[in-house]
Amino acid sequence: MPLTKAGLQRLRSLREKKHREALGLFVVEGENVVAELLGAGFAFEEIYATPAWTGPQTQAVTEEEMTRASHFPTPSSVLAVGQITRTPLAAGDLDHGLTLALDGVQDAGNVGTLLRIADWFALDRVVLSPDCADLFHQKVINASMGSFARVRAHTGDLAQILATVKVPVLGCDLTGDDVHTLPARRDAVIVVGSEGHGISPAVRPLVTHFITIPRFGGAESLNAAVAAAVVCDNLRRVTGKL
């Protein structure tokens, strides 16, 4: 059955957050990322595919229909639709394990990469402030690859959430202490600020220990995801000795 005009409009509308929220749906497009998510056990509501796609599908479409439905200038052979689900944080959740907290990280690619970093280092969860890039933005999901399905991610008022935690809150900041001197922590929150402004004024007072990556060259700063990876690596390295 060919895609109807209304069906195509619905798929294309999911480019915008307001429509994703209204319909409770999001789109993932691309052979690799769809395969990664399927491999991670993610259950899509719908999968549309041209004959070039060799994986499972729920509806076959022509290349012309895929071009019209695609969110990309060059469409892939598969487009999948998932249901938006949000898991609330329970009281005391952040007091156990390692949490990566994203404070206003607005670049979708960075947010997706940060999810992959959390997955790589087996962090217990990621918490995003509301002004971060939308967790269900296609660029976030594509950059995260299968990590989107494996990492427990939550969105909420970061200042309000951190005000109740009982574990160390480690803030990435150029004025902080050398990350290589970081003591072992099995339970902690790592806060990464926005690309342009760092940790927000509302969150800064809740940081218990500012940390930085020593600079030896002339670069002004590090990408948020790169900085988070270095911090997580150091934290896991010292924690593994406990």
Position 212 scores a pLDDT of: 94
The two structure tokens encoding residue 137: 């933005």
Helix (H) or strand (E) holding 149: helix 147-150
| pLDDT lower than 70: segments of the chain | 1-2, 240-242
Position 238 scores a pLDDT of: 74
Position 177 scores a pLDDT of: 93
Position 55 scores a pLDDT of: 87
* Residue 163 phi, psi dihedral angles, 5° rounding: -65, -20
* 160-167 CB contacts, 8 Å cutoff, 24+ apart: 161/89, 161/94, 161/101, 161/127, 162/94, 162/101, 162/189, 162/191, 162/203, 162/206, 163/206, 164/91, 165/94, 165/95, 165/189, 166/95, 167/94, 167/95
List, in order of start, the domains of the chain with CATH numbers.
5-83 (3.30.1330.30), 93-239 (3.40.1280.10)
Q: Which of 124, 113, 120 is nearest to 153 (CA)?
A: 124
Q: Which of 159, 94, 149, 171 is nearest to 125 (CA)?
A: 94
Q: How far apart are CA 111 and CA 132, in angstroms?
A: 8
Q: Given the structure tokens 């200042």, which residue do they identify?
A: 159
Q: How far apart are CA 126 and CA 123, in angstroms?
A: 8
Provide the β-strand partners of residue 211. 177
